[in-house]
């Protein structure tokens, strides 16, 4: 790319002078380097310029002309801007391989930075930033400092970008020399392009900083300056500013509305990147706005036209727009609910656009437009593109599952398609009909005979497996089910593993329903599965069925013929936390891949993830112990369910609830246990595994005797100071005893009157914590204290909090109702049932994607690996295995939170060092920071 850029530059120079550049790329002649050397030292300016062009041309086609370095550098001493640009291009290419020679150019760079021509000043500072040579970097600081304060805006905007380049070379130098402060000052510059470049540079520095924390805290004043510059920037400057605005969380709804009003005009921009960046900011701000307000409704309507307009662009832009629309529709389907027709497929759309449009059509399908959608899908099923036809048929099945009143019409459409006898259409229809049977049991089974007529035409594994499942599931309704399954068994060894597993299960189902005449068939299939197969999954399932049938047929019937859970309406929706993160990355590659940046970008800070602002609770990203308790001063500031609670009945413990969190924070952590990790059917308690001695899958497994250490205790801190509690001071901490979480509190009365009638209630929280009993606090005279311990249960409603262990509390007494928030210590949520079998640990670790791995550096570690393992075991973090790799001790550990979320850990320790690296894997990465904080507390105890 660099070489092609050089070619373009040379062509541009020559075009301006009416010349052709082909002569510079002629075959190398013998002695050409010597000739070039003499021409470069010529006294004639034109001859010297021609020679430099020849050198650049040779460099462009890959020839080594580094021997001419001193001669080319001598050409820098010129007033000719064209020649100077060419020499600078040569320097950027060869300075790294000739660092000592590159020093020769420093004086000229410094001199050019003070040239009267602003183009030369900017060119000099830009080139110095591109030369990644430490010796030159030292000389860059002073010229860069001057250029950042240059009177010409072109020089200032170039210098702003140069700071980001310098940070990449030497971050410490940028911080020590005060360039970051100068860069922040440029945010207030009078020229909008300078502001845009300063924002771009700061964003680049933020992303590459080791901490991952923003170097510039955006505030209302800064945001106002950015919004002012937004209207006058170039389109890419607008993108930089909008991306920066997306990282800002307004302090209240009024400010959010103001920002929305000033950004909304960007939706009419001609550049698709500006439009999508504006939509990204507005999508984030919609989380803060009240969903039932007129402003929110108006803003939602304004988002539809620009998205529709993007679909009039060329196919590549359409695809990017559609991938982003896919995310937007999952988050806020109301935005495009009236725009179904724009997603109808055109005959000349590329296949990748067709498939994406089809996906969005299903997401927008509802009872009012289903007839229109089905008509389109039926038409698509007659297309010539096989992949598209398959997707269309599958889409009809998804419509049946999603829009229940239209299910019968969808099934009729599928039957019509089956009658066409087109092989791939029939096979795809059978696959989706299986899902329809799952969704609507005992409703459409009358069509089974029609399906069986097409048995001989099925040749794809998924279709054959679906048909076998249907036969096994409804064997009592199919007279010749045994013959049909027997026909499949004739080529059992040649079948795909998916089909073999379904055949095994289907025959066992048939035997349990009709044992009299299928005993021989079930023995045959069990023999094939356990004796003739080398597939471990098939063998294991065969042995399980054999053991069940031979020991307890009644239990086998309960297991194999158990009611199937109904399949969900949308099985392909993104996980809510991932969706929220991707919404924050609209208009980037992440929104096209539908993967977080950490999944495909190397070198990003692990664990730093973007998320949508929480509408109910102010952002609290600081997990430090010093700010663990935050007081909510008045009832007006407590947003959420505490306002609507019946405080008079506050002592009544909350019943078990299955309340689903609202859409803006729809992560139900209670649903993500080991059963999900391992693909099991339902959450079950995992029995603690027995630790063995000897070599295992993860190394040397060792048994731990009962540890002498005890569970760590955290000192109490002030949750409610007396000045906020009208004389009532509450200090508290959390502890775990006997498998339960306890709130240990000290109530102190610093008022002049006695306090009585105490009661407590919690807001919905991430772990469903509720008081396990009424709060028992005796009448508290002035200047007296009392200790109270309150057991907590996790049977309450669940709502995602930020941070994840945030707990909002209401305390009532005869004086008033007081509100405050505190953080539950992570270690108190670690269950006693958190020990995994080593094989389960290994398979689970492999199954969890790499994007869900987060690393953390521990410091101040006391003791060796065995001592650490004992401490952790005492606090319900169980060591599964230990091994030594290249002199480092590795501990593999597991823990289970009270809400059935499993966390797997790998601790790397160097003997004699007080530091270690902790790697964490879990399906719910939101708990990572809480686990890290808890681990550090335990390990330092």
| Residue 790: band (very low, low, confident or very high) from pLDDT cuts 50, 70, 90 | very high
Determine the average pLDDT of the residues in 12-27.
50
Determine the average pLDDT of the residues in 47-58.
81
Q: Where are the alpha helices (DSSP H) in 17-152?
A: 32-40, 45-60, 69-74, 81-94, 99-102, 106-112, 118-130, 134-148
| Residue 214: band (very low, low, confident or very high) from pLDDT cuts 50, 70, 90 | low
pLDDT over 90 (residue 321): yes
Determine the average pLDDT of the residues in 903-923.
86
Gap between the Cα atoms of 829 and 354, Å rounded: 48
Reference 36, options 22, 55, 49, 56; nearest CA is 55
* 17 three-class SS: coil
Q: At what angle do helices 386-402 and 370-380 cross, to 10 degrees?
A: 160
Higher-confidence residue of 176 and 303: namely 303
Q: Which tens digits make up the pLDDT trace of 620-663?
A: 334 444 434 444 333 333 333 333 333 343 333 433 333 333 33
Q: So what's the pLDDT on residue 908? A: 87
Q: At what angle do helices 461-473 and 423-439 cross, to 10 degrees?
A: 40
% of the chain at pLDDT higher than 90: 17
Q: Which tens digits make up the pLDDT trace of 346-369?
A: 888 999 999 999 999 988 988 888
Pairing verdict, β 806-812 and 785-793: unpaired
| Residue 688: band (very low, low, confident or very high) from pLDDT cuts 50, 70, 90 | very low
**Lowest-pLDDT range of 125-129, 196-200, 256-260, 549-553:** 125-129
Q: Is the dihedral of CA 381, 385, 390, 395 positive or negative?
A: negative
Give whichever of 121-135, 430-444, 605-619 has the largest mean pLDDT: 430-444
Give whichever of 160-169, 503-512, 550-559, 655-664 has the largest mean pLDDT: 503-512
Gap between the Cα atoms of 306 and 216, Å rounded: 31
Q: Do you find a cis peptide bond into 803, omega within 30 degrees of 0?
A: yes
| Residue 615: band (very low, low, confident or very high) from pLDDT cuts 50, 70, 90 | low
Most distant CA atoms of the chain, gap in Å: 108
Q: So what's the pLDDT on residue 318? A: 92
Dihedral angle, C-alpha 6, 12, 17, 20, nearest 10 ° = 70
Dihedral angle, C-alpha 593, 597, 599, 604, nearest 10 ° = 160
Residues whose CB is less than 8 angstroms from the CB of residue 784 and which lie 6 or more positions away in sequence, other chains included: 748, 749
Beta partners for residue 856, in sequence order? 918
pLDDT over 60 (residue 212): no
Phi and psi for 173 in degrees, rounded to 5?
A: -65, -40
Phi and psi for 854 in degrees, rounded to 5?
A: -125, 140
Quote the DSSP letter at residue 803.
S
Residue 883 burial (10 A CB sphere; 0-12, 13-18, 19+): middle
Q: So what's the pLDDT on residue 210? A: 62
pLDDT over 90 (residue 540): yes
Q: So what's the pLDDT on residue 646? A: 38
**Lowest-pLDDT range of 29-33, 98-102, 750-754:** 29-33
Q: Which tens digits make up the pLDDT trace of 76-114?
A: 777 777 777 887 787 777 777 777 777 777 777 778 888
Q: Where are the alpha helices (DSSP H) in 659-809?
A: 674-677
CA distances from 273 to 268, 337, 379 (A): 12, 23, 34
For residue 387, what are its two tokens? 């992949």
Q: So what's the pLDDT on residue 276? A: 93
Residue 320 burial (10 A CB sphere; 0-12, 13-18, 19+): buried
Dihedral angle, C-alpha 356, 357, 362, 367, nearest 10 ° = 170
**Lowest-pLDDT range of 117-131, 186-200, 600-614, 775-789:** 600-614
Residue 462 burial (10 A CB sphere; 0-12, 13-18, 19+): middle
Q: Read off the pTM.
A: 0.59
When the pLDDT of each residue in the chain is averaged and rounded to a whole number, the result is 79
Rg (CA), the chain: 34
**Lowest-pLDDT range of 136-150, 395-409, 642-656, 688-702:** 688-702
Pairing verdict, β 728-737 and 740-749: antiparallel
Gap between the Cα atoms of 475 and 308, Å rounded: 49
- Contact in structure between 433 and 414 (CB atoms under 8 Å): yes
For residue 486, what are its two tokens? 């027997």
HSE-CB of 272 using CA atoms within 13 angstroms: 21
Gap between the Cα atoms of 233 and 226, Å rounded: 10
Pairing verdict, β 853-858 and 817-823: unpaired
Report the chain's terminal Cα–Cα distance, integer Å: 55
Determine the average pLDDT of the residues in 676-701.
35
Q: So what's the pLDDT on residue 501? A: 92
Q: Is the dihedral of CA 626, 796, 666, 685 positive or negative?
A: positive
Determine the average pLDDT of the residues in 724-732.
90
Pairing verdict, β 785-793 and 740-749: antiparallel
pLDDT over 60 (residue 298): yes
Higher-confidence residue of 459 and 31: namely 459
Determine the average pLDDT of the residues in 528-549.
90
| Residue 570: band (very low, low, confident or very high) from pLDDT cuts 50, 70, 90 | low
Phi and psi for 57 in degrees, rounded to 5?
A: -65, -40
pLDDT over 60 (residue 18): no
Reference 323, options 591, 702, 614, 517; nearest CA is 591
| Residue 278: band (very low, low, confident or very high) from pLDDT cuts 50, 70, 90 | very high
Buried b (16+ CB within 10 A) or exposed e, 242-278: bbbbbebbbeebebbbebbebbbebbebeebbbbbbb
* 374 three-class SS: helix
Higher-confidence residue of 809 and 693: namely 809
Reference 265, options 227, 315, 237; nearest CA is 227
For residue 255, what are its two tokens? 């400010």
pLDDT over 90 (residue 786): yes
DSSP output for 654-674: PPP--PPPPGGG---GGG-SH
Determine the average pLDDT of the residues in 848-858.
83
Higher-confidence residue of 731 and 138: namely 731
Q: So what's the pLDDT on residue 317? A: 92
Q: Do you find a cis peptide bond into 739, omega within 30 degrees of 0?
A: no
């Amino acid at each position: 790319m660099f070489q092609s850029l050089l070619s373009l530059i040379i062509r541009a120079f020559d075009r301006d002078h009416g010349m052709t550049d082909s002569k510079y790329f002629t075959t190398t002649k013998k002695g050409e380097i010597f000739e070039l050397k003499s021409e470069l030292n010529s006294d004639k300016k034109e001859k010297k310029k021609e020679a430099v062009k020849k050198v650049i041309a040779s460099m462009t086609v890959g020839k080594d002309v580094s021997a001419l370095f001193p001669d080319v550098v001598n050409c820098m001493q010129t007033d000719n801007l064209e020649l100077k640009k060419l020499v600078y291009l040569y320097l950027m290419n060869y300075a790294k391989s000739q660092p000592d020679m590159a020093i020769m150019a420093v004086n000229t760079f410094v001199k050019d930075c003070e040239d009267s021509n602003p183009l030369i000043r900017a060119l000099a500072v830009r080139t110095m930033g591109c030369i990644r040579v430490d010796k030159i970097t030292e000389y860059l600081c002073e010229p860069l400092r001057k250029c950042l304060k240059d009177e010409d805006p072109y020089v200032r905007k170039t210098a702003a970008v140069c700071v980001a380049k310098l940070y990449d070379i030497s971050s410490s130098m940028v911080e020590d020399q005060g360039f970051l402060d100068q860069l922040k000052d440029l945010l207030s510059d009078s020229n909008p392009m300078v502001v845009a470049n300063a924002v771009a540079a700061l964003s680049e520095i933020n992303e590459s900083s080791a901490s991952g924390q923003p170097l510039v805290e955006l505030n209302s004043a800064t945001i106002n300056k950015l919004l002012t510059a937004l209207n006058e920037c170039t389109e890419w400057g607008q993108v930089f500013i909008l991306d920066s605005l997306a990282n800002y969380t307004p302090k209240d709804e009024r400010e959010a509305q103001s920002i929305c009003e000033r950004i909304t005009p960007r939706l009419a921009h001609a550049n698709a990147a500006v439009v999508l960046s504006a939509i990204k900011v507005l999508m984030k701000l919609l989380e803060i706005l009240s969903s039932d307000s007129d402003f929110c409704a108006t803003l939602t309507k304004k988002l539809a036209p620009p998205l529709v307009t993007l679909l009039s662009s060329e196919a590549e832009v359409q695809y990017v727009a559609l991938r982003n629309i896919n995310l937007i529709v999952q988050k806020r389907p109301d935005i495009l609910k009236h725009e179904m027709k724009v997603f109808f497929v055109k005959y000349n759309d590329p296949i990748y656009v067709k498939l994406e449009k089809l996906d969005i059509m299903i997401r927008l399908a509802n009872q009012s437009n289903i007839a229109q959608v089905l008509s389109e899908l039926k038409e698509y099923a007659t297309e010539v593109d096989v992949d598209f036809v398959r997707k269309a048929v599958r889409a009809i099945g998804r419509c049946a599952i999603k829009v229940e009143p239209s299910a019968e019409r969808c099934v009729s459409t599928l039957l019509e398609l089956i009658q066409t006898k087109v092989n791939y259409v029939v096979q795809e229809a059978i696959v989706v009909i299986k899902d329809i049977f799952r969704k609507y049991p005992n409703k459409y089974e009358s069509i089974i005979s029609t399906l069986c007529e097409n048995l001989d035409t099925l040749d794809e594994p998924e279709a054959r497996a679906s048909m076998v499942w249907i036969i096994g599931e409804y064997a009592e309704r199919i007279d010749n089910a045994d013959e049909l399954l027997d026909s499949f068994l004739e080529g059992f060894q040649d079948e795909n593993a998916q089909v073999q597993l379904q055949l095994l299960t289907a025959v066992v189902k048939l035997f349990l329903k009709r044992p009299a005449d299928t005993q021989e068939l079930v023995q045959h299939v069990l023999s094939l599965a356990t004796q003739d197969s080398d597939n471990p999954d098939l063998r294991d399932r065969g042995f399980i069925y054999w053991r069940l049938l031979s020991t307890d047929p009644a239990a086998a019937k309960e297991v194999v013929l158990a009611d199937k859970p109904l399949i969900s309406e949308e099985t392909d929706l993104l996980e809510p936390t991932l969706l929220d993160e991707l919404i924050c990355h609209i208009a980037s590659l992440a929104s096209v891949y539908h993967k977080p940046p950490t999944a495909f970008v190397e070198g990003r800070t692990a664990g730093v993830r973007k998320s949508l602002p929480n509408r109910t609770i102010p952002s609290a990203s600081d997990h430090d112990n010093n700010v663990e308790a935050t007081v909510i001063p008045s009832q007006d500031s407590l947003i959420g369910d505490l306002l609507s609670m019946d405080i008079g009945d506050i002592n009544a413990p909350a019943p078990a609830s299955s309340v689903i969190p609202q859409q803006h924070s729809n992560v139900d952590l209670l649903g993500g246990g080991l059963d999900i990790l391992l693909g099991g059917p339902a959450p079950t308690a995992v029995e603690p595994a027995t630790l063995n001695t000897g070599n295992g899958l993860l190394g040397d497994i060792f048994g731990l005797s009962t540890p002498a250490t005890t569970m760590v205790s955290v000192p109490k801190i002030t949750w409610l100071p007396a000045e906020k509690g009208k004389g009532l001071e509450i200090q508290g901490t959390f502890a775990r005893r006997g498998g339960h979480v306890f709130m240990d509190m000290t109530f102190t009365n610093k008022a002049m009157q006695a306090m009585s009638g105490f009661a407590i209630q919690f807001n919905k929280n991430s772990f469903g914590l509720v008081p396990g009993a009424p709060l028992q606090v005796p009448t508290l005279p002035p200047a007296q204290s009392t200790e109270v311990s309150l057991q907590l249960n996790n049977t309450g409603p669940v709502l995602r909090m930020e941070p994840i262990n945030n707990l909002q509390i209401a305390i009532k007494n005869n004086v008033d109702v007081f509100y405050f928030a505190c953080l539950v210590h992570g270690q108190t949520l670690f269950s006693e049932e958190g020990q995994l079998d080593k094989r389960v640990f290994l398979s689970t670790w492999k199954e969890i994607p790499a994007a869900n791995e987060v690393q953390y550096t521990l410091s101040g570690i006391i003791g060796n690996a065995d001592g650490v393992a004992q401490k952790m075991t005492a606090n319900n973090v169980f060591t599964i295995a230990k091994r030594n790799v290249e002199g480092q001790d590795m501990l593999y550990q597991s823990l289970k939170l009270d809400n059935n979320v499993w966390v797997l850990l790998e601790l790397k320790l160097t003997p004699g060092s007080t530091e270690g690296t902790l790697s964490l894997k879990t399906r719910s990465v939101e708990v990572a920071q809480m686990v890290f904080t808890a681990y550090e507390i335990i390990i330092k105890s």
